[in-house]
Structure 1
Amino acid sequence: MPFTPFHMGPGILIKSLLQGSFSLMVFGWTQIVMDIQPLIVLITGEGHLHGFTHTYVGATLIAIFSGLTGKYLSEVGLKVLHITEHGTPITIPWWVVYLSAFLGSFSHVLLDSIMHADVEPFFPFSLQNTFLGFIPVSMLHKICLYSGLAGAALYFTIHWKLKRKRWIS
């Protein structure tokens, strides 16, 4: 997957379905953290492109780190953007933070496992990548893109209907 943007498609769909029970900001932060190691390999030319960070063990550690840092980064971001809930700053519950971070890191490993031969998702227990080629890469890209578009449409439709309902009442 080219860095984060394609990974955000499924996240946008999840956000539209779970609404306030999911943080797209924490999910996105997790995508960025997941791809720091491959970025370093691309820049330096040293190391395994999709190494330990693209295993489920590595994804677990990244989810914990991303949750701890992402909660505060997201809350500061919401404050800077003046996004509040009835005039009070939004705080993201820890369970939402970790749900978002774990969905972010595990989905990242799954999506990259489908398209990259060097991903070993079950390392150190197995070097096999049983997901490789599960679907064609072009279809994977379309699924990510269309899930993002469908999620955005659904999200804004729900918000529009809720806003209209409050306006009518």
Structure 2
Amino acid sequence: MPFTPFHMGPGIAIKAASQGSFSLMVFGWSQIIMDLQPLIALTTGQGHLHGFSHTYVGATLLMIVSAVSGKYLGEFGLRVLRIFSPGDAISWRVAFLSAAIGCYSHVLLDSVMHADMAPFYPLSDANPLLRLVSVRMLHVFCVYSGLVGGGVYFWLQFRHRKAIPQQGKRDAIAFKRP
């Protein structure tokens, strides 16, 4: 992907499907961590554009870094956005799952479009995933998965918020009956 935001599309879809069992904050942080090596290579003109960080071995190491740092940064971000309560802490399981999905999906998506990648290094220098689908189709998938996932997520949130007051009304009515 030319830019990290394209990777967020599938993450938004996963968040919509799994709700509290997935942290979009940790997932997004893992996307940034994954693209630090290409950013440094682009800005300095030195190093491999999609080097070790864009292999599954490198992604495993970056997944650990992303999960550990992302748990705390994600919780901090949720506090800043004022959508965090003490019971909303990101569990270690969710942090590691979200970072793993983020890092491994990043390698998978980039492998389809970047010829300079060797995702299975050190076992192989080949990239069997290259051009598995067209770059255009890959971008369409990422954008549409984000749009559909975002729509589903906000629809579920709306339904949940709408159901809570009605549940409270039913409980209040049931409580008043002798």
Q: TM-score range by the shorter chain?
A: over 0.9
Is residue 79–residue 89 contact of structure 1 (8 Å, CA) maintained in 2? no
Match of residue 123 from structure 1? 121
What TM-score comes out, normalization by structure 2 length? 0.91
Are 1:83 and 1:89, in contact at CA under 8 Å, matched by a contact in 2? no
CA distance in 1, matches of 2:99, 2:148: 22
| One-letter amino acid of the structure 1 residue matched with residue 6 of structure 2 | F
Q: C-alpha distance in 2, partners of 1:137/1:77?
A: 33
- Distance in 1 between residues matched to 2:149 and 2:15, nearest whole Å: 7
Unaligned runs of 5+ in 1: none
Give the equivalent residue in structure 2 for 1:160: 158
| Partner deviation per Cα, 1:80-139 (whole Å, 9 max, x = no partner) | 121134xx3631100000000000000000000000000100000001111000000000
- Counting only pairs closer than 5 Å after superposition, residues 16-165 of structure 1 correspond to structure 2 as 16-85=16-85, 88=86, 90-165=88-163
Amino acid across the alignment from 2:151: A
Q: Cα RMSD over matched residues?
A: 0.9
Which letter does structure 2 place at the counterpart of 1:154? Answer: V
Counterpart secondary structure, 2:140: helix
Q: In the alignment, is the contact (CA less than 8 A) between 1:4 and 1:31 conserved in 2?
A: yes
- Report the alpha carbon displacement of residue 63 of structure 1 after superposing the two structures with TM: 0.3
Identity of aligned residues (%): 59
Q: CA deviation at 1:35?
A: 0.3
Q: Is the 8 A contact 1:31 1:104 kept in 2?
A: yes
